Structure 1
Amino acid sequence: MVSLVIDRRFRGPPNSGNGGYVCGCLARHVAGDAEVTLRAPPPLERPLDVLTASDGAIELRENGKLLATASATRIDVRDIPGVSCEAAEEAVARTPYDEQTHDLPGCFVCGPARGHGDGLRIFAGPLQAGAVPDKPVVFAASWIPHGSLSGEDGYIAPEFVWAALDCPTGYCSVGARHLGLKGNETALLGRMAARINRRPRPGDRCVVTAWPTGREGRKLFAESALLSSEQEVLAMARTTWLLVDRQVQLGATT
Protein backbone atom coordinates (compact mmCIF):
# COMPACT_ATOMS: atom_id res chain seq x y z
CA MET A 1 0.00 0.00 0.00
CA VAL A 2 1.27 3.47 -0.93
CA SER A 3 0.79 6.35 1.48
CA LEU A 4 0.38 10.04 0.60
CA VAL A 5 0.88 12.84 3.11
CA ILE A 6 -0.08 16.32 1.89
CA ASP A 7 2.28 18.87 3.40
CA ARG A 8 0.66 22.07 4.68
CA ARG A 9 2.68 23.99 2.10
CA PHE A 10 0.47 22.47 -0.61
CA ARG A 11 -2.87 23.58 0.81
CA GLY A 12 -5.66 25.24 -1.13
CA PRO A 13 -8.31 25.90 1.52
CA PRO A 14 -6.81 26.30 5.01
CA ASN A 15 -7.16 22.65 6.01
CA SER A 16 -7.08 20.65 2.77
CA GLY A 17 -4.81 20.12 -0.21
CA ASN A 18 -4.88 22.26 -3.32
CA GLY A 19 -7.09 20.44 -5.80
CA GLY A 20 -4.72 20.51 -8.75
CA TYR A 21 -1.79 19.38 -6.64
CA VAL A 22 -3.74 16.45 -5.19
CA CYS A 23 -4.97 15.49 -8.66
CA GLY A 24 -1.38 15.54 -9.89
CA CYS A 25 -0.21 13.35 -7.03
CA LEU A 26 -2.81 10.71 -7.90
CA ALA A 27 -2.11 11.06 -11.63
CA ARG A 28 1.45 9.85 -10.95
CA HIS A 29 -0.08 6.38 -10.55
CA VAL A 30 -1.78 6.49 -13.98
CA ALA A 31 0.08 5.95 -17.25
CA GLY A 32 -0.42 8.80 -19.73
CA ASP A 33 -3.35 11.22 -19.60
CA ALA A 34 -5.37 11.02 -16.40
CA GLU A 35 -8.69 12.22 -15.02
CA VAL A 36 -9.15 12.75 -11.30
CA THR A 37 -12.42 13.29 -9.45
CA LEU A 38 -12.28 14.85 -5.99
CA ARG A 39 -14.93 13.35 -3.70
CA ALA A 40 -14.09 15.06 -0.39
CA PRO A 41 -11.49 17.56 0.86
CA PRO A 42 -8.14 15.75 1.25
CA PRO A 43 -6.77 16.60 4.72
CA LEU A 44 -3.30 17.90 5.42
CA GLU A 45 -0.42 16.18 7.19
CA ARG A 46 -2.18 12.87 7.74
CA PRO A 47 -1.31 9.59 6.02
CA LEU A 48 -3.75 8.83 3.20
CA ASP A 49 -3.94 5.49 1.42
CA VAL A 50 -3.43 5.22 -2.35
CA LEU A 51 -5.12 2.02 -3.52
CA THR A 52 -5.94 0.28 -6.78
CA ALA A 53 -9.62 -0.65 -7.06
CA SER A 54 -10.90 -3.84 -8.69
CA ASP A 55 -11.70 -1.91 -11.88
CA GLY A 56 -8.14 -0.55 -12.09
CA ALA A 57 -8.98 2.95 -10.88
CA ILE A 58 -6.69 4.61 -8.37
CA GLU A 59 -8.34 5.63 -5.11
CA LEU A 60 -7.30 8.00 -2.35
CA ARG A 61 -8.80 7.04 1.00
CA GLU A 62 -8.52 7.90 4.68
CA ASN A 63 -9.69 5.21 7.09
CA GLY A 64 -11.80 3.76 4.31
CA LYS A 65 -13.43 7.06 3.33
CA LEU A 66 -13.11 7.76 -0.40
CA LEU A 67 -11.48 11.14 -1.07
CA ALA A 68 -10.62 10.95 -4.78
CA THR A 69 -10.43 8.61 -7.76
CA ALA A 70 -8.13 8.66 -10.79
CA SER A 71 -8.25 6.78 -14.07
CA ALA A 72 -6.71 6.82 -17.52
CA THR A 73 -8.35 9.02 -20.13
CA ARG A 74 -7.59 10.76 -23.40
CA ILE A 75 -7.56 14.55 -23.47
CA ASP A 76 -7.00 16.78 -26.47
CA VAL A 77 -7.66 20.47 -25.85
CA ARG A 78 -8.02 22.24 -29.17
CA ASP A 79 -7.77 25.87 -30.24
CA ILE A 80 -5.32 26.75 -27.49
CA PRO A 81 -4.69 30.50 -27.73
CA GLY A 82 -1.10 31.60 -28.06
CA VAL A 83 -0.22 34.15 -25.38
CA SER A 84 3.17 35.83 -25.16
CA CYS A 85 5.02 36.28 -21.88
CA GLU A 86 4.55 40.03 -22.24
CA ALA A 87 0.78 39.73 -22.72
CA ALA A 88 0.57 37.35 -19.75
CA GLU A 89 2.47 39.78 -17.54
CA GLU A 90 0.06 42.54 -18.54
CA ALA A 91 -2.87 40.25 -17.69
CA VAL A 92 -1.45 39.63 -14.22
CA ALA A 93 -1.79 43.37 -13.57
CA ARG A 94 -5.54 42.94 -14.13
CA THR A 95 -5.99 39.96 -11.80
CA PRO A 96 -9.32 40.40 -9.98
CA TYR A 97 -8.03 39.48 -6.51
CA ASP A 98 -5.52 40.73 -3.98
CA GLU A 99 -4.66 39.61 -0.45
CA GLN A 100 -7.73 41.40 0.94
CA THR A 101 -10.28 40.17 -1.62
CA HIS A 102 -8.98 36.66 -2.37
CA ASP A 103 -11.19 33.90 -0.92
CA LEU A 104 -8.18 31.69 -0.16
CA PRO A 105 -5.12 33.97 0.17
CA GLY A 106 -3.01 31.08 1.45
CA CYS A 107 -3.62 28.85 -1.59
CA PHE A 108 -0.41 27.18 -2.77
CA VAL A 109 -1.08 28.05 -6.41
CA CYS A 110 -2.79 31.43 -6.51
CA GLY A 111 -2.64 32.79 -2.97
CA PRO A 112 -1.24 36.34 -2.81
CA ALA A 113 -0.23 35.77 0.81
CA ARG A 114 2.31 33.12 -0.22
CA GLY A 115 5.91 34.23 -0.67
CA HIS A 116 8.27 33.67 -3.60
CA GLY A 117 9.65 30.15 -3.48
CA ASP A 118 6.81 29.05 -1.19
CA GLY A 119 3.66 29.31 -3.33
CA LEU A 120 3.46 29.24 -7.12
CA ARG A 121 2.10 32.81 -7.14
CA ILE A 122 0.13 32.36 -10.36
CA PHE A 123 -2.16 35.39 -10.48
CA ALA A 124 -4.20 35.00 -13.65
CA GLY A 125 -5.93 38.03 -15.09
CA PRO A 126 -8.04 38.67 -18.19
CA LEU A 127 -6.52 39.42 -21.56
CA GLN A 128 -7.75 42.54 -23.28
CA ALA A 129 -11.28 42.15 -24.67
CA GLY A 130 -11.15 40.72 -28.18
CA ALA A 131 -7.58 39.45 -27.84
CA VAL A 132 -8.83 35.96 -28.78
CA PRO A 133 -11.74 36.44 -31.23
CA ASP A 134 -13.46 33.08 -30.68
CA LYS A 135 -13.18 33.14 -26.87
CA PRO A 136 -15.02 35.91 -24.97
CA VAL A 137 -12.99 35.34 -21.79
CA VAL A 138 -9.33 34.28 -21.62
CA PHE A 139 -7.19 34.59 -18.51
CA ALA A 140 -3.41 34.34 -18.47
CA ALA A 141 -0.47 34.56 -16.10
CA SER A 142 3.28 34.45 -16.38
CA TRP A 143 5.08 31.80 -14.33
CA ILE A 144 8.74 31.05 -13.67
CA PRO A 145 8.91 27.74 -11.75
CA HIS A 146 11.03 27.77 -8.59
CA GLY A 147 13.87 25.31 -8.06
CA SER A 148 12.12 23.72 -5.07
CA LEU A 149 9.54 22.27 -7.48
CA SER A 150 11.95 20.10 -9.46
CA GLY A 151 11.92 16.33 -9.40
CA GLU A 152 14.88 13.99 -9.36
CA ASP A 153 15.27 14.35 -13.14
CA GLY A 154 15.75 18.12 -12.91
CA TYR A 155 12.37 18.98 -14.46
CA ILE A 156 9.37 20.39 -12.60
CA ALA A 157 7.57 17.50 -10.89
CA PRO A 158 4.27 16.53 -12.59
CA GLU A 159 2.05 17.39 -9.63
CA PHE A 160 3.19 21.01 -9.81
CA VAL A 161 2.36 21.18 -13.52
CA TRP A 162 -1.14 19.96 -12.65
CA ALA A 163 -1.32 22.56 -9.88
CA ALA A 164 -0.33 25.36 -12.24
CA LEU A 165 -3.11 24.36 -14.65
CA ASP A 166 -5.76 24.31 -11.90
CA CYS A 167 -6.49 27.70 -10.30
CA PRO A 168 -6.49 29.79 -13.51
CA THR A 169 -9.51 27.77 -14.67
CA GLY A 170 -11.31 28.73 -11.48
CA TYR A 171 -10.44 32.39 -11.98
CA CYS A 172 -11.74 32.48 -15.55
CA SER A 173 -14.87 30.46 -14.73
CA VAL A 174 -16.01 32.74 -11.93
CA GLY A 175 -15.10 35.68 -14.18
CA ALA A 176 -17.37 34.49 -17.03
CA ARG A 177 -20.08 37.13 -17.05
CA HIS A 178 -21.47 35.71 -20.30
CA LEU A 179 -22.31 32.52 -18.36
CA GLY A 180 -24.26 34.42 -15.72
CA LEU A 181 -21.48 34.68 -13.13
CA LYS A 182 -21.08 37.85 -11.07
CA GLY A 183 -17.43 37.33 -10.14
CA ASN A 184 -18.00 36.98 -6.40
CA GLU A 185 -19.06 33.33 -6.33
CA THR A 186 -17.14 30.69 -4.37
CA ALA A 187 -16.16 27.44 -6.06
CA LEU A 188 -14.10 24.30 -5.58
CA LEU A 189 -12.41 22.03 -8.10
CA GLY A 190 -14.45 18.87 -8.62
CA ARG A 191 -12.74 17.13 -11.53
CA MET A 192 -9.60 17.60 -13.58
CA ALA A 193 -8.09 15.82 -16.56
CA ALA A 194 -4.65 16.67 -17.91
CA ARG A 195 -1.95 15.74 -20.36
CA ILE A 196 1.70 16.67 -19.95
CA ASN A 197 3.69 16.85 -23.17
CA ARG A 198 6.89 18.20 -21.67
CA ARG A 199 7.71 19.51 -18.21
CA PRO A 200 9.59 22.80 -17.86
CA ARG A 201 12.78 23.25 -15.89
CA PRO A 202 13.18 25.61 -12.94
CA GLY A 203 13.73 29.14 -14.19
CA ASP A 204 11.98 28.62 -17.54
CA ARG A 205 9.65 31.45 -18.54
CA CYS A 206 6.17 29.98 -18.93
CA VAL A 207 2.63 31.17 -19.54
CA VAL A 208 -0.53 29.65 -18.09
CA THR A 209 -3.71 30.46 -20.00
CA ALA A 210 -7.29 29.44 -19.21
CA TRP A 211 -10.78 29.99 -20.61
CA PRO A 212 -14.33 28.95 -19.63
CA THR A 213 -16.14 26.49 -21.89
CA GLY A 214 -19.62 26.25 -20.37
CA ARG A 215 -21.91 25.93 -17.41
CA GLU A 216 -24.56 23.47 -16.20
CA GLY A 217 -26.20 24.80 -13.06
CA ARG A 218 -23.58 24.63 -10.29
CA LYS A 219 -20.99 23.08 -12.61
CA LEU A 220 -18.51 25.38 -14.37
CA PHE A 221 -16.34 23.98 -17.17
CA ALA A 222 -12.99 25.34 -18.33
CA GLU A 223 -9.76 24.45 -20.10
CA SER A 224 -6.18 25.56 -19.62
CA ALA A 225 -2.73 25.19 -21.09
CA LEU A 226 0.87 25.66 -20.02
CA LEU A 227 2.99 27.28 -22.72
CA SER A 228 6.70 27.81 -23.08
CA SER A 229 8.08 31.24 -23.92
CA GLU A 230 8.19 30.02 -27.55
CA GLN A 231 4.45 29.12 -27.45
CA GLU A 232 5.05 25.36 -27.27
CA VAL A 233 2.14 23.62 -25.54
CA LEU A 234 3.80 21.92 -22.57
CA ALA A 235 0.59 20.68 -20.93
CA MET A 236 -3.17 21.01 -21.14
CA ALA A 237 -6.13 20.44 -18.83
CA ARG A 238 -9.90 20.31 -18.65
CA THR A 239 -11.66 21.09 -15.36
CA THR A 240 -15.05 21.05 -13.69
CA TRP A 241 -15.63 23.46 -10.82
CA LEU A 242 -18.57 23.38 -8.42
CA LEU A 243 -20.24 26.49 -7.04
CA VAL A 244 -20.42 26.01 -3.28
CA ASP A 245 -21.28 27.89 -0.13
CA ARG A 246 -18.41 29.84 1.39
CA GLN A 247 -18.33 27.58 4.46
CA VAL A 248 -18.05 24.50 2.25
CA GLN A 249 -15.12 26.11 0.43
CA LEU A 250 -13.41 26.66 3.78
CA GLY A 251 -14.07 23.06 4.80
CA ALA A 252 -16.41 23.84 7.68
CA THR A 253 -19.07 21.53 6.21
CA THR A 254 -19.18 18.81 3.56
Structure 2
Amino acid sequence: MSETLYIDARYNGAVGRGNGGYVAGAMAAFIPGDAEVRIMRGFPLGTPLAIRRHPDGAVSCHLGAQELGRAHPLRLELEVPPPPALAAARAAAARFQFLHASDVRGCYVCSPRREPGEGLRLFCGPLPEGGDNIVAGVWEPGPELLDERGQVAPIQVWAALDCPGGYAIAALAPDVGIQLLGTCAASLKRPLGAGESYIVSSWQLAPPEGRKRFMGVAIHAVTGELMACARQIWIDAGARIPAAG
Protein backbone atom coordinates (compact mmCIF):
# COMPACT_ATOMS: atom_id res chain seq x y z
CA MET A 1 0.00 0.00 0.00
CA SER A 2 1.36 3.42 -0.95
CA GLU A 3 1.95 5.96 1.82
CA THR A 4 0.87 9.58 1.59
CA LEU A 5 1.24 12.79 3.55
CA TYR A 6 -1.45 15.46 3.78
CA ILE A 7 -0.98 18.89 5.38
CA ASP A 8 -4.34 20.35 6.34
CA ALA A 9 -4.89 24.02 5.52
CA ARG A 10 -4.99 25.01 9.19
CA TYR A 11 -1.28 24.18 9.56
CA ASN A 12 -0.03 26.97 7.31
CA GLY A 13 3.12 28.96 7.73
CA ALA A 14 3.25 32.63 6.88
CA VAL A 15 2.09 32.42 3.27
CA GLY A 16 -0.36 29.60 2.65
CA ARG A 17 2.16 26.78 2.73
CA GLY A 18 2.83 24.22 5.41
CA ASN A 19 4.53 25.53 8.52
CA GLY A 20 8.14 24.35 8.38
CA GLY A 21 8.21 22.76 11.81
CA TYR A 22 4.87 21.03 11.31
CA VAL A 23 6.01 19.73 7.91
CA ALA A 24 9.26 18.49 9.44
CA GLY A 25 7.31 16.74 12.18
CA ALA A 26 5.03 15.12 9.62
CA MET A 27 8.07 13.75 7.80
CA ALA A 28 9.76 12.69 11.04
CA ALA A 29 6.68 10.65 11.96
CA PHE A 30 7.80 8.05 9.41
CA ILE A 31 11.10 7.57 11.29
CA PRO A 32 11.51 6.23 14.84
CA GLY A 33 13.53 8.36 17.23
CA ASP A 34 15.53 11.47 16.35
CA ALA A 35 15.38 12.68 12.77
CA GLU A 36 16.76 15.35 10.48
CA VAL A 37 14.45 16.81 7.85
CA ARG A 38 15.48 18.88 4.86
CA ILE A 39 12.72 20.96 3.29
CA MET A 40 13.58 21.51 -0.37
CA ARG A 41 10.38 23.23 -1.48
CA GLY A 42 7.26 24.57 0.19
CA PHE A 43 4.73 21.88 1.02
CA PRO A 44 1.32 22.72 -0.49
CA LEU A 45 -1.72 22.60 1.76
CA GLY A 46 -4.68 20.28 1.25
CA THR A 47 -2.85 18.14 -1.31
CA PRO A 48 -2.04 14.41 -1.05
CA LEU A 49 1.74 13.97 -1.27
CA ALA A 50 3.53 10.70 -2.01
CA ILE A 51 5.94 9.17 0.51
CA ARG A 52 8.85 7.00 -0.62
CA ARG A 53 11.08 4.91 1.64
CA HIS A 54 14.76 4.39 0.82
CA PRO A 55 17.19 1.57 1.66
CA ASP A 56 19.29 3.84 3.90
CA GLY A 57 16.30 4.50 6.16
CA ALA A 58 15.50 7.88 4.65
CA VAL A 59 11.98 8.94 3.69
CA SER A 60 11.20 11.43 0.92
CA CYS A 61 8.02 13.34 0.07
CA HIS A 62 6.96 14.09 -3.51
CA LEU A 63 4.45 16.11 -5.49
CA GLY A 64 4.49 14.49 -8.90
CA ALA A 65 8.11 14.43 -10.06
CA GLN A 66 9.23 17.05 -7.53
CA GLU A 67 10.88 16.03 -4.28
CA LEU A 68 9.68 18.41 -1.59
CA GLY A 69 11.62 17.11 1.38
CA ARG A 70 13.64 14.25 2.82
CA ALA A 71 14.03 12.91 6.36
CA HIS A 72 16.60 10.52 7.72
CA PRO A 73 17.34 9.06 11.15
CA LEU A 74 20.17 10.39 13.26
CA ARG A 75 21.16 10.80 16.88
CA LEU A 76 21.07 14.50 17.60
CA GLU A 77 23.92 15.78 19.73
CA LEU A 78 23.37 19.39 20.69
CA GLU A 79 24.79 21.50 23.49
CA VAL A 80 21.79 23.29 24.95
CA PRO A 81 22.25 26.39 27.12
CA PRO A 82 20.30 26.63 30.38
CA PRO A 83 16.85 28.15 29.93
CA PRO A 84 15.92 31.57 31.24
CA ALA A 85 13.77 31.70 34.34
CA LEU A 86 10.02 31.49 33.82
CA ALA A 87 9.56 35.15 34.76
CA ALA A 88 12.24 36.21 32.27
CA ALA A 89 10.63 34.10 29.54
CA ARG A 90 7.24 35.68 30.24
CA ALA A 91 8.80 39.15 30.13
CA ALA A 92 10.45 38.30 26.80
CA ALA A 93 7.13 37.04 25.41
CA ALA A 94 5.60 40.42 26.28
CA ARG A 95 8.12 41.98 23.84
CA PHE A 96 7.00 39.69 20.99
CA GLN A 97 6.47 41.39 17.62
CA PHE A 98 4.61 39.35 15.00
CA LEU A 99 6.67 38.95 11.82
CA HIS A 100 3.86 37.98 9.46
CA ALA A 101 1.36 40.80 9.79
CA SER A 102 0.37 40.68 6.09
CA ASP A 103 -1.41 37.33 6.51
CA VAL A 104 -5.05 37.47 7.60
CA ARG A 105 -4.74 34.51 9.96
CA GLY A 106 -1.00 34.06 10.17
CA CYS A 107 1.32 31.21 11.01
CA TYR A 108 -0.08 28.20 12.86
CA VAL A 109 2.70 28.40 15.45
CA CYS A 110 3.26 32.09 16.18
CA SER A 111 0.23 34.08 15.04
CA PRO A 112 -1.52 36.13 17.75
CA ARG A 113 -4.49 36.39 15.38
CA ARG A 114 -5.48 32.80 16.04
CA GLU A 115 -7.83 32.06 18.89
CA PRO A 116 -6.79 29.60 21.61
CA GLY A 117 -7.23 26.12 20.19
CA GLU A 118 -6.67 27.29 16.60
CA GLY A 119 -2.89 27.60 16.79
CA LEU A 120 0.02 27.15 19.16
CA ARG A 121 0.16 30.86 20.03
CA LEU A 122 3.86 30.63 20.86
CA PHE A 123 5.20 34.15 21.24
CA CYS A 124 8.97 34.55 21.60
CA GLY A 125 10.51 37.94 22.23
CA PRO A 126 14.05 39.21 22.81
CA LEU A 127 15.91 38.59 26.03
CA PRO A 128 18.37 41.09 27.54
CA GLU A 129 21.83 40.76 26.03
CA GLY A 130 24.53 38.85 27.84
CA GLY A 131 23.32 35.27 27.71
CA ASP A 132 23.39 32.56 25.06
CA ASN A 133 19.64 32.63 24.48
CA ILE A 134 18.45 35.40 22.18
CA VAL A 135 14.67 35.03 22.46
CA ALA A 136 12.33 33.17 24.75
CA GLY A 137 8.65 32.58 25.37
CA VAL A 138 6.26 30.41 27.33
CA TRP A 139 4.22 27.68 25.67
CA GLU A 140 1.11 26.30 27.33
CA PRO A 141 -0.21 23.46 25.13
CA GLY A 142 -3.97 23.02 25.09
CA PRO A 143 -5.86 19.71 25.33
CA GLU A 144 -6.57 19.76 21.58
CA LEU A 145 -2.88 18.98 20.99
CA LEU A 146 -2.93 15.68 22.88
CA ASP A 147 -2.63 12.34 21.11
CA GLU A 148 -4.24 9.03 22.03
CA ARG A 149 -1.67 8.56 24.81
CA GLY A 150 -2.67 11.78 26.52
CA GLN A 151 0.60 13.48 25.56
CA VAL A 152 1.25 16.46 23.30
CA ALA A 153 1.52 14.89 19.84
CA PRO A 154 5.12 14.76 18.56
CA ILE A 155 4.20 16.66 15.40
CA GLN A 156 3.01 19.56 17.58
CA VAL A 157 6.31 19.58 19.48
CA TRP A 158 8.19 19.71 16.17
CA ALA A 159 5.98 22.64 15.16
CA ALA A 160 6.75 24.47 18.41
CA LEU A 161 10.47 24.06 17.75
CA ASP A 162 10.21 26.00 14.46
CA CYS A 163 9.41 29.70 14.79
CA PRO A 164 11.59 30.59 17.80
CA GLY A 165 14.64 30.19 15.56
CA GLY A 166 13.22 32.66 13.06
CA TYR A 167 12.47 35.20 15.77
CA ALA A 168 16.00 34.84 17.12
CA ILE A 169 17.36 35.64 13.66
CA ALA A 170 15.14 38.72 13.45
CA ALA A 171 16.37 39.86 16.86
CA LEU A 172 19.99 39.45 15.77
CA ALA A 173 19.58 41.07 12.36
CA PRO A 174 16.34 43.05 11.98
CA ASP A 175 17.07 43.91 8.33
CA VAL A 176 17.44 40.33 7.03
CA GLY A 177 15.12 39.00 4.36
CA ILE A 178 12.30 36.53 4.83
CA GLN A 179 13.60 33.45 6.64
CA LEU A 180 12.57 29.91 5.65
CA LEU A 181 13.32 26.78 7.63
CA GLY A 182 15.57 24.67 5.41
CA THR A 183 16.77 21.87 7.69
CA CYS A 184 15.65 20.80 11.13
CA ALA A 185 17.08 17.99 13.26
CA ALA A 186 15.14 17.37 16.45
CA SER A 187 15.16 15.16 19.51
CA LEU A 188 12.05 14.79 21.67
CA LYS A 189 13.40 13.86 25.09
CA ARG A 190 10.29 13.60 27.26
CA PRO A 191 6.53 13.79 26.70
CA LEU A 192 4.79 17.12 27.22
CA GLY A 193 1.39 17.53 28.84
CA ALA A 194 -1.51 19.91 28.37
CA GLY A 195 -2.06 22.70 30.85
CA GLU A 196 1.63 22.91 31.75
CA SER A 197 3.95 25.85 31.13
CA TYR A 198 7.13 25.27 29.14
CA ILE A 199 10.01 27.65 28.51
CA VAL A 200 11.00 27.89 24.84
CA SER A 201 14.25 29.57 23.83
CA SER A 202 16.55 29.97 20.84
CA TRP A 203 20.22 30.75 20.34
CA GLN A 204 22.73 31.00 17.48
CA LEU A 205 24.87 27.92 16.84
CA ALA A 206 27.40 29.42 14.41
CA PRO A 207 27.98 32.60 12.39
CA PRO A 208 25.96 32.98 9.17
CA GLU A 209 27.30 31.56 5.91
CA GLY A 210 25.91 33.40 2.92
CA ARG A 211 22.14 32.96 2.99
CA LYS A 212 22.29 30.32 5.74
CA ARG A 213 21.81 30.88 9.45
CA PHE A 214 22.34 28.24 12.11
CA MET A 215 20.08 28.21 15.15
CA GLY A 216 19.24 26.06 18.13
CA VAL A 217 15.85 25.83 19.83
CA ALA A 218 14.92 24.14 23.10
CA ILE A 219 11.83 23.45 25.16
CA HIS A 220 12.36 23.14 28.92
CA ALA A 221 10.07 22.37 31.81
CA VAL A 222 9.89 25.18 34.36
CA THR A 223 12.07 22.98 36.58
CA GLY A 224 14.84 23.21 33.96
CA GLU A 225 14.40 19.70 32.57
CA LEU A 226 15.07 19.51 28.82
CA MET A 227 11.96 18.27 27.00
CA ALA A 228 12.95 18.74 23.33
CA CYS A 229 15.60 20.46 21.23
CA ALA A 230 16.37 21.19 17.60
CA ARG A 231 19.27 22.16 15.36
CA GLN A 232 18.21 24.32 12.43
CA ILE A 233 19.45 25.80 9.19
CA TRP A 234 17.42 28.77 7.98
CA ILE A 235 17.58 30.17 4.44
CA ASP A 236 17.24 33.87 3.63
CA ALA A 237 14.66 34.06 0.82
CA GLY A 238 15.11 37.78 0.29
CA ALA A 239 12.00 39.88 -0.27
CA ARG A 240 9.77 37.16 -1.77
CA ILE A 241 8.89 33.61 -0.79
CA PRO A 242 8.95 30.99 -3.57
CA ALA A 243 5.62 29.37 -4.38
CA ALA A 244 4.85 26.04 -2.73
CA GLY A 245 5.44 22.82 -4.64
Q: Which residue of 2 aligns with 1:124?
A: 124
Deviations 1:136-177 (A, max 9, x none): x5210001001111111000000110111110001102321x
Whole-Å Cα distance in 2 between the matches of residues 45 and 253 of structure 1? 12
Q: SS state of the match for residue 242, structure 1?
A: strand
Asked whether the 8 Å contact 1:32–1:195 carries over to 2, the reply is yes
Q: Which residue of 2 aligns with 1:217?
A: 210
Q: 1:80 to 1:26 in 2, by over 3 A?
A: same
Deviations 1:181-202 (A, max 9, x none): 3345211000000000112111
Q: Where does 1:85-124 land on structure 2 (aligned, <5 Å)?
A: 85-97=86-98, 100=101, 106-124=106-124
Structure 2-normalised TM-score? 0.93
Q: Which residue of 1 aligns with 2:54?
A: 53
Q: Which residue of 2 aligns with 1:28?
A: 29
Whole-Å Cα distance in 1 between the matches of residues 37 and 124 of structure 2? 23
Aligned positions, number: 243
Which one of the candidate residues 152, 157, 163 is aligned to 1:156? Answer: 152
Q: Which residue of 1 aligns with 2:224?
A: 231
**Alignment gaps of 5+ in structure 2:** none
Is 1:204 paired with 2:200? no
Report % sequence identity: 37
Q: Which residue of 2 aligns with 1:244?
A: 237
Whole-Å Cα distance in 1 between the matches of residues 129 and 80 of structure 2? 18
Asked whether the 8 Å contact 1:3–1:48 carries over to 2, the reply is yes
Q: 1:175 to 1:185 in 2, by over 3 A?
A: farther
Deviating beyond 3 angstroms after TM superposition, the runs of 4 or more aligned structure 1 residues are: 102-105, 251-254
Q: 1:223 to 1:9 in 2, by over 3 A?
A: same
Q: CA shift at 1:114, angstroms?
A: 1.5
Q: CA shift at 1:103, angstroms?
A: 7.2
Q: Where does 1:137-176 land on structure 2 (aligned, <5 Å)?
A: 138-176=134-172
**Alignment gaps of 5+ in structure 1:** none
Structure 1-normalised TM-score? 0.89
Asked whether the 8 Å contact 1:5–1:44 carries over to 2, the reply is yes
Whole-Å Cα distance in 2 between the matches of residues 37 and 252 of structure 1? 17
Provide the aligned C-alpha RMSD in A: 1.9
Asked whether the 8 Å contact 1:91–1:140 carries over to 2, the reply is yes
Q: CA shift at 1:24, angstroms?
A: 0.6
Q: Which residue of 2 aligns with 1:62?
A: 63
Asked whether the 8 Å contact 1:190–1:242 carries over to 2, the reply is yes
Q: Which residue of 2 aligns with 1:18?
A: 19
